[in-house]
Structure 1
């Protein structure tokens, strides 16, 4: 009895790799409230102001202490790589918080604009003694803004500590592009596929 082989599909072309923009401190700064905005947020919403310099200095001190503790056991190259990764985590965290803040500002604006529509009856005011959903969204956006500003301060301190400790500017790690398969490798793969 002859066994039928299911037809094999042709090899699929390799998917184009999505290029991701490196997350830099400058990119984080564009998404984070400015010092003036952070002051306005804390004043307008009655929130604790962020001590930018204090957070920045404490982070630099933490990095310096950590590096000095590791120096006897970790060579210079390994220490630089280690610190580069830690700074990357700080910058990545600040970027995540800044992006979250940006999203929450958009939500708060949309909710506030809906309430400004005179023809709309629902959600005009909150229940007596409580804020409206739009007011809560604005307050939450303000809180996330101050969080983003504080984490930006920490990332700023980490980036500057990296330069002091290594003498180099911090740059985000960018993975090398995967080499594309050569024509002969593709032909070999197609031939082996044809052989079954």
Structure 2
């Protein structure tokens, strides 16, 4: 019983706030294939090329039409907040696609390296006329890369539209960090706890 009381009276350790990296358009660009890489992917795997500029322009026009439709009813501040959230969703989606692409590249490389090992008997090429697992993994990674590139184009259009509509640069929303208790408040709490 005394042990339970001692555990209850022990001060709770505050969890350290987790620092999450803000998802920015720059981060997405670092993870996404470049225009040159996207061209190589579409050529090497026989996939349709991505019209980056067309996607960006269409997204930008869509945001402008959306804002124009809301403008008579929604005030400037509410519209800015609304657009900030939608742009955040676009950038977050592009980030998710880019990290998915990175993981699929890793899988494809690992599977291909296993095939290059002459001492392995399993994981050889598939039956004649069918792709092996490694070839399918490489093609899947290429498709994921082009998807990430297309979503990066969309996110770029959304960020450009935000700047054009609000006159501000888009920044990812970061929740305010709750203020931690001061040292004197922590000391007072520890002293009260010690008094029982």
Q: Any idea what SS the aligned residue of 2:15 has?
A: coil
Q: TM-score, normalised by structure 1?
A: 0.92
1:129 aligns with 2:114: no
> Counterpart of 1:149 in 2: which secondary structure?
helix
- For 1:168 and 1:139, locate their aligned partners in 2 and report how far apart those are by CA, in whole Å: 40
Structure 1 range deviating more: 181-190 or 116-125: 181-190
Over residues 20-66 of structure 1, what are the superposed CA-to-partner deviations in whole Å (9 max), with x where a residue is unaligned? Answer: 11111111001000111111111111111111111111100110011
* Helix, strand or coil at the partner of 1:78: helix
| Structure having the larger proportion of residues in helix | 2
CA contact 2:41–2:146 (8 Å) conserved in 1: yes
Distance apart, 1:12 and its partner CA? 2.4
**1:69-80 superposed matches below 5 A:** 69-80=69-80
Aligned partners of 1:45, 1:18: CA distance in 2, in Å? 41
State the distance in 2 between where 1:5 and 1:144 align: 55
User: 1:174 and 2:150 equivalent?
Assistant: no
**Matching of residues 110-189 of structure 1 within 5 Å:** 110-187=110-187, 189=189
Partner residue, 2:94: 94
Range with greater deviation from structure 2 (177-186 or 85-94): 177-186
Aligned-residue CA RMSD (Å) = 1.8
Q: By how many angstroms is 1:129 displaced?
A: 2.2
Please list the CA deviations of residues 91-119 of structure 1 after superposition, one character each: whole Å capped at 9, or x if unmatched: 01000100010111011011101100111
CA–CA separation in structure 2 for the residues paired with 1:82 and 1:8: 50
Q: Residues 73, 189 of structure 1: CA spacing in aligned structure 2 closer, same or farther, 3 A cutoff? A: farther
Offset at residue 187 of structure 1 (A)? 4.6
Equivalent position SS for 2:4: coil
Which residue among 4, 7, 14 is the counterpart of 1:6? 4
TM-score by length of 2: 0.92
Identify unmatched segments of 5+ residues in structure 2.
none
Show structure 1 runs of 5+ residues with no match. Answer: none
